[in-house]
């Protein structure tokens, strides 16, 4: 099943794209809650290129690498990637109110659909807040 989350970011498309794809920015916004953080990030933004974000609980109790391979990249417009046996699509579209960022991803079986949607939406909301603070 595909799950979709979305946010409209009030910022220029170039800034939104850079913040979504730059390791320096990713470590600042990529967490679903205040008790988690991303300690490092690598990005090779091209089809066949890989990415990895190390996500850890701030208390040191747990951590994991969120990693995958880019399958399609259209600058300022689209990112598609695979992670494990799942895929995701990130669409960027400019509108009057800002840049719509829509993330669609394959669900997994460990967590409920609602937990997955809430977690990914929380990350996207932190992304929006991070980018808008730069404007």
Q: What is the mean pLDDT of residues 36-44?
A: 98
- DSSP collapsed to 3 states, 94-117: EECCEEEEEEEEECCCCCCHHHHH
**113-128 pLDDT tens trace:** 999 999 999 999 999 9
Share the mean pLDDT of the chain. 97
**41-85 pLDDT tens trace:** 999 999 999 999 999 999 999 999 999 999 999 999 999 999 999
Q: What is the mean pLDDT of residues 12-24?
A: 98
Tell me, what's the pLDDT at 6?
Answer: 98
| Token pair belonging to 100 | 């719509």
Assign a CATH topology to domain 2-35+74-134: Alpha-D-Glucose-1,6-Bisphosphate; Chain A, domain 4 (3.30.530)
Tell me, what's the pLDDT at 27?
Answer: 98
Tell me, what's the pLDDT at 44?
Answer: 98
The CA R_g of the chain, rounded to the nearest whole Å, is 14
| Residue ranges per structural domain of the chain | 2-35+74-134
Report field, pTM of the whole predicted structure over 0.75:
yes
Q: What's the first-to-final CA gap in the chain, in angstroms? A: 36
CA 61 to chain centroid, in Å, comes to: 23
Tell me, what's the pLDDT at 14?
Answer: 97
């Amino acid at each position: 099943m595909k799950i979709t989350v979305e946010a409209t970011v009030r910022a220029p498309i170039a800034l939104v794209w850079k913040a979504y794809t730059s390791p320096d920015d990713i470590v600042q916004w990529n967490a679903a809650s205040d008790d988690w953080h991303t300690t490092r990030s690598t990005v090779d933004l091209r089809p066949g290129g890989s990415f990895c974000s190390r996500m850890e609980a701030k208390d040191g109790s747990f951590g994991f690498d969120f990693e995958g391979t880019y399958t399609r990249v259209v600058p300022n417009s689209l990112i598609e990637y695979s992670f494990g046996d799942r895929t995701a699509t990130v669409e960027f579209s400019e509108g009057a109110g800002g840049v719509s960022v829509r993330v669609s991803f394959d669900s997994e079986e460990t967590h409920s659909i609602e937990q997955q949607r809430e977690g990914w939406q929380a990350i996207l909301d932190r992304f929006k807040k991070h980018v808008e603070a730069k404007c």
